[in-house]
């Protein structure tokens, strides 16, 4: 989320949302990832799981541990995570590089199993993006006061994720996930990334795989 202050100019001459401050890791995340439309099912799964671990914490806390999470969670391979047993969960509880919360760890295992069911039936990316009709929602916010913490779409998506069996996917977590993965463009309009992300219009190629349509490639920064 962008805080309730105007965008700020950096030493490189670019005006950004103020939330990354001057932390190089956070600035890079803001400039290269946040708000970029993501269509890869595995990448979307990873981000949703990490957002679940973020619950009650700041995103920078998770971002600084992301590499450790990737190592601990088999590079977020859902098939491998779905097979995590009690012994593996106990090992993760002893891993200081991640957030050692048993409910969140067990929730990730449960969510991986649900992911596999959705991926087989309709494709996880398709399942998520259908709530946005397959295209990013372009917002035009000037301050944090205008940016919601949840929306009708995040409420609907959260409800269906929960009904399918996903864990740690409340509407606020889901809205933050949608912001980060470019389902909504919530960069402030004064931030240079707003226009850059808005320009990432998808190239839609309807191809049938296993009897369902998938959306094709997206331009990248």
Burial label for 72, CB within 10 Å (0-12, 13-18, 19+), is middle
Question: Tens digit of pLDDT for each residue in 50-75?
Answer: 999 999 999 999 999 999 999 999 99
Report pLDDT for 46.
98
Give the chain's end-to-end CA distance (angstroms, integer).
21
Average pLDDT over every residue of 87-101: 98
Per-residue pLDDT band for 23 (boundaries 50, 70, 90) equals very high
Question: Tens digit of pLDDT for each residue in 114-130?
Answer: 999 999 999 999 999 99
φ/ψ of 16, rounded to 5, equals -125, 165
Give the number of residues written for the chain: 221
Domains and CATH numbers, the chain: 8-214 (1.10.340.30)
How large a percentage of the chain has pLDDT more than 90? 82
Question: Tens digit of pLDDT for each residue in 134-187?
Answer: 999 999 999 888 999 999 999 999 999 999 999 999 999 999 999 999 999 999
Judge contact between 21 and 8, C-beta under 8 A: no
């Amino acid at each position: 989320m962008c805080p309730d202050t105007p965008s700020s100019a950096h030493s490189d001459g670019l005006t950004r949302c103020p939330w990354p401050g001057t932390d190089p890791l956070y600035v890079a995340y803001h400039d290269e990832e946040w708000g970029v439309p993501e269509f890869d099912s595995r990448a979307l799964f990873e981000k949703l799981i990490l957002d679940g671990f973020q619950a009650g914490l700041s995103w920078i806390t998770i971002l600084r541990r992301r590499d450790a999470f990737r190592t601990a969670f088999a590079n977020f391979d859902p098939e491998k995570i779905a097979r995590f047993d009690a012994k593996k969960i106990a090992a993760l509880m002893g891993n200081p590089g991640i957030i050692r919360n048993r409910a969140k760890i067990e929730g990730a295992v449960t969510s991986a199993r649900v992911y596999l069911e959705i991926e087989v039936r309709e494709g996880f990316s398709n399942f998520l993006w259908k709530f946005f009709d397959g295209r990013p929602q372009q917002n035009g916010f000037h301050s944090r006061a205008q940016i919601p913490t949840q929306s009708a779409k995040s409420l609907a998506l959260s409800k269906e994720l929960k009904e399918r069996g996903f864990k740690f996917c409340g509407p606020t977590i889901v809205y933050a996930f949608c912001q980060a993965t470019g389902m909504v463009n919530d960069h402030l309009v004064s931030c240079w990334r707003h226009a850059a992300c808005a320009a990432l219009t998808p190239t839609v190629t309807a191809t049938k795989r296993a009897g369902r349509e998938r959306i094709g490639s997206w331009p990248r920064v």
